[in-house]
Amino acid sequence: MALKPSALIELHLHLEGSIYPSDAIFLCQKNKIPFNNNMYRHSNFEIFLKHFGDAVSLLKDKEDLVFILQNHLKRLKRWGVVYAEIRVSPSVWERFGLNAEESAKYLFSSNLDPIIKHNFIVESVRHWDKESIERDFNIAIKYKNKVKAFGIGGNEILAPIEDFKFLFEECSKNGIVFIPHCGEVSPADEVLKAIEYGAKKIGHGIKSSQSEIVMNKLKENDVHLEICPTSNLLTGAVKRNSPHPLKTFYDYKVEFSVSTDDPGLFLTTIKKELFFAEKMLENQSEALLIIQKDALKASLLTPKEKEFILTKYYL
């Protein structure tokens, strides 16, 4: 049994964060705006959130969204990704001048070449107004054929998970999954609450490693964490001189996958993230295969689709 290098799965990836400098330069030239290299240098989490907005401000029409989607799907294919879950943030588009509903319609209804198998997650900004969260949620439900989950990102301290308890029920009623960012910068207790509210999949969740109670809860409840090592280091979610807690999760047998989060803004690739994981796990044989199989298990694919990938690549 061996992991074929041409069969990677990525579960945590923001489309707007996949704008690499080459894409940014192209968009700046096309839209006649100056290129600002500073958006690739992040000193803390708040600055990163600002840079995320800077990246979205380069998109001036719905075709630009399709341009960055197709560019990144092509890159994923080149890197050997066979399945990806792609987060999109309509209310962030709206804030920077793109009409959220029209752009979502264009993105989700176009007959585009899929390039690789993928599903979308609509992502809202937790510290913004209720109306924008409602708008994003309605978009997610409207395009359920392409959107399999709803998420919330942004400032976890300003808007704790408690404020979004209702979304676990709302999503479940509407046949989609709720995947919050949680425990990225907020404390382990927030992850505990998310588990109590019914979370089965959490964006980041790395602060859980600071509490044995939460680690046990994650394991008992079969909760999957989407871990993004380079992102954690560059946003300061993990202090630069501290070891990344990835090995703690592995040793505890908490299920997790490895992703890029915002590969363009963090100048990383899925291969670099998996290489980092392999090093952190001291090159234990089978570690990467276990991570990828857990990613497949936690994915938004149907049982039949999971079985297909499992049999084709992992057995």
Closest approach of Cβ 3 to Zn ion, in Å?
A: 25
CA-CA distance, 162 to 183, in Å (whole number)? 13
Cα–Cα–Cα angle for 127, 91, 228, rounded to 5 degrees: 65
Closest to Zn ion by CB, 9 or 309: 9
Closest approach of Cβ 306 to Zn ion, in Å?
A: 23
The SS3 assignment for 194 reads: helix
Closest to Zn ion by CB, 150 or 313: 150
Phi, psi of 83 (to 5 degrees): -155, 135
Closest to Zn ion by CB, 192 or 206: 206
Of the candidates 299, 303, 229, the one whose C-alpha atom is nearest the C-alpha of residue 8 is 299
Does residue 298 contact residue 11 with C-beta atoms inside 8 Å?
yes
CA-CA distance, 171 to 167, in Å (whole number)? 6
Q: How far is CA 5 from CA 43, 77, 236, 289, in A?
A: 33, 12, 30, 10
Token reading at 81: 């990704």
Closest approach of Cβ 228 to Zn ion, in Å?
A: 7
Of the candidates 314, 303, 286, 298, the one whose C-alpha atom is nearest the C-alpha of residue 12 is 298
Closest to Zn ion by CB, 57 or 231: 231
Closest to Zn ion by CB, 235 or 292: 235
Using CB under 5 A as the binding criterion, the count of chain residues that bind Zn ion stands at 1
131 to 150: interface string for Zn ion, x by CB under 5 A: --------------------
CA-CA distance, 202 to 121, in Å (whole number)? 13
Closest to Zn ion by CB, 123 or 255: 123
* Contacts (Cβ under 8 Å, ≥6 apart) of 294: 224, 255, 256, 257
Closest approach of Cβ 15 to Zn ion, in Å?
A: 11
Closest approach of Cβ 4 to Zn ion, in Å?
A: 27
Closest approach of Cβ 14 to Zn ion, in Å?
A: 6
235 to 274: interface string for Zn ion, x by CB under 5 A: --------------------------x-------------
Q: Residues 74 to 133: which contact Zn ion by CB under 5 A?
A: none
Closest to Zn ion by CB, 255 or 261: 261
- Among all residues, whose Cβ is closest to Zn ion? 261
Does residue 60 contact residue 88 with C-beta atoms inside 8 Å?
no
Closest approach of Cβ 310 to Zn ion, in Å?
A: 26
Give me the residues that bind Zn ion (CB under 5 A), please.
Answer: 261
